[in-house]
Structure 1
Amino acid sequence: MMRCLIIDDEQLIRDLLEDNIRQLPFLQLVKSCKNALEAWDIIQKEPIDLLFLDVQMPRMSGLQFLSSLVNPPMVILVTAYREYALEGFNLQVIDYLLKPFSMDRFMKACSRANELFQLKQQQTSSATGYPDFFVHVEYTLVKITIADINYIEGLKDYIKIYLTSQDRPILTRMPMKTIKRKLPPNDFIRTHKSFLVAVKKITTVKRDAVCIGEKEIPVSPLYKENVTRLIHPSS
């Protein structure tokens, strides 16, 4: 599931995008913002996979905002002016929606983004040499995509796997040492005897915790050096 952020100064367009996003099962709306400055704070705190970005906005245009991002998510431009499409493609946007746009056109743009999203996840698994895996949930096998994992919490003989694509964690019977062997060691750090955290999902580091968005995950004294190496790799 792709986590989406909307940035558009028109309320009607934001309402339309919000409604369309809710109708596609592979999209999850994180926030809807009326300007780039409001969105800046969100994108620093939350993992975002897909950005619906208006071009013409007060104070900072959508293209200026996109150019300011060091590691931008996938972007679908939303504009009333066709001439911005070429400049947008120079910034490697996925597609553009010309206002007013139909649901069919919206679905086509989102399907293109989803194909690229799935390909990136597959490439991540292939590059690390650690394939996605299945876990038992009651009487069902559930596939876990490594790139989708935010963090893992150990609970004696069980673990909870917290995913970007789901609000509720996956609970399965498995010791931490077993799940750790299934994960690329450079992509996950132990912050506590009960927590494994995806490095790329960390948005903030505090004195005794790391954060993924608003969620704080404890850092115990025994594993504090792991977090120190994350901030200062050469140390």
Structure 2
Amino acid sequence: MIKCIIVEDEILAQQVIQSHLQKTDQFELVAICNNALEAAEVLNNQEVDLIFLDIQLPGMTGLNFLRTLEDPPLVVLTTAYAEYALESYEFNVIDYLLKPISFERFSKMVNKIKEGRLFSQEPKEKSNVPTDHIFIKSNSKFFKVNFSEIMYIEGMKDYLKIFTPEYKLITHQTMSDMERLLPPGKFIRVHKSYIVAVPFIKSIYGNAIEVDKATIPIGGSYKEKVMQLIK
């Protein structure tokens, strides 16, 4: 399921997008926000894969809001004004929907997402899927990284830092994509920007986890999952 939020101050537009979402089975609506401030609070406390973002918002425009985000989810812009389309390309949005949004046009957007990175297909031959390592592309090379070597992973926009005891790799990939590739049970998402290898955890205290020499924050929406490790 793709977790999404609607950031829109017009009630009718909120209802239209929500209605379209209900007609598909790929989306989970996490929240409806009336302005950028409400949206920022949701993003700080919950995992969100996709934002339906109105450009004309009270207080701060949708585009200015995007400029404030260090690691934004995927974005679909919604607006009644076609003249913002060119400016929106600066943010690499996946689609630009003009109001009123028809379900036919909305469906085209859904298909675009299906063809992209959010919808991963199950491998036909699971026996060919590596269970102990992954190949990471960094600086035009592919590095073989054993899962047992990874201490933690830090997300930064469209890039990841992968930390091992001996080296650090930077690769062009998303946290959601990486999370799907890691073996379950050995890694835990503790923050929207951090994945931690359970065997490398030294201690858990307050809202932080100690891994090697790093202190990693625990996000509010991930704390219950982290505390289950202690129990």
Instruction: With the length of structure 1 as denominator, give the TM-score of the two structures.
Output: 0.59
Aligned residue number for residue 23 of structure 1: 23
**What are the within-5 Å matches in structure 2 for residues 5-20 of structure 1?**
5-20=5-20
Q: In structure 2, do the counterparts of structure 1 residues 184 and 25 end up closer, same or farther at CA, with 3 Å as the change threshold?
A: same
Corresponding residue of 1:152: none
Q: By how many angstroms is 1:111 displaced?
A: 2.0
Q: Distance between the aligned counterparts of 1:59 and 1:208, measured in 2?
A: 32
Taking a change above 3 Å as real, the CA distance of residues 44 and 95 of structure 1, as seen in their structure-2 partners, is same
Helix, strand or coil at the partner of 2:6: strand
Deviations 1:123-153 (A, max 9, x none): xx764677xxxxxxxxxxxxxx97359xxxx
Between the aligned partners of 1:208 and 1:89, the Cα distance in structure 2 is 37
| Deviation for aligned residue 1:65 | 0.5
SS at match of 2:4: strand
Residue number in structure 2 paired with 1:40: 40
1:147 maps onto 2:148 in alignment: no
- 1:198 corresponds to which letter in structure 2? R
2:77 and 2:122 map into 1 onto residues whose CA distance is 23
- Provide Cα deviations, 1:177-212, integer angstroms capped at 9, x if missing partner: xxx9x3596xx2xxxxxxxx2245478x96167445
Whether contact under 8 Å (2:33, 2:39) holds in the other structure is yes
CA distance in 2, matches of 1:43, 1:111: 25
Where structure 1 has 5 or more consecutive residues not aligned to the other structure, the ranges are 131-144, 150-179, 189-196, 224-235
Cα RMSD over matched residues? 3.5
Matched, 1:72 2:72: yes
Partner of 1:108: 108
**Is 1:217 aligned with 2:225?**
yes
C-alpha contact (below 8 Å) 1:211/1:217 kept by paired residues:
no
For the structure 1 residues 84 and 121, does the alpha-carbon distance in structure 2 shift closer, same or farther, using more than 3 Å as the test? farther
1:118 aligns with 2:119: yes
- Which residue number in structure 2 is paired with residue 82 of structure 1? 82
**Pairwise CA distance, 1:90:** 1.6
TM-score normalised per structure 2: 0.60
- CA–CA distance in 2 between the matches of 1:129 and 1:103? 45
Preserved contact between residue 52 and residue 76 of structure 1 (Cα < 8 Å) = yes
Are the aligned partners of 1:78 and 1:98 in contact in 2 as well (CA < 8 Å)? yes
Q: How does 1:194-209 map to 2 (within 5 A)?
A: 197-199=188-190, 201=192, 207=206
Structure 1 CA distance for aligned equivalents of residues 41 and 100 of structure 2: 28
Quick one: distance in 2 between partners of 1:148 and 1:111?
A: 21
Counterparts of 1:100 and 1:44, CA distance in 2: 30
- C-alpha displacement of 1:23: 1.4
Deviates more, 1:108-117 or 1:38-47: 108-117
Partner letter of residue 206 of structure 2? R
Q: Kindly state the Cα deviation for residue 39 of structure 1 after the two structures are TM-superposed.
A: 0.7
- 1:74-131 deviations in Å (ceiling 9; x for gaps): 1000000111111111210001110112101011112212322125999xx764677x
Distance (whole Å) between structure 2 residues aligned to residue 89 and residue 6 of structure 1? 20
For structure 2, the residue ranges without an aligned partner over 5 or more in a row are: 124-133, 137-144, 148-176, 195-203, 209-217
Matching residue's letter, 1:86: L
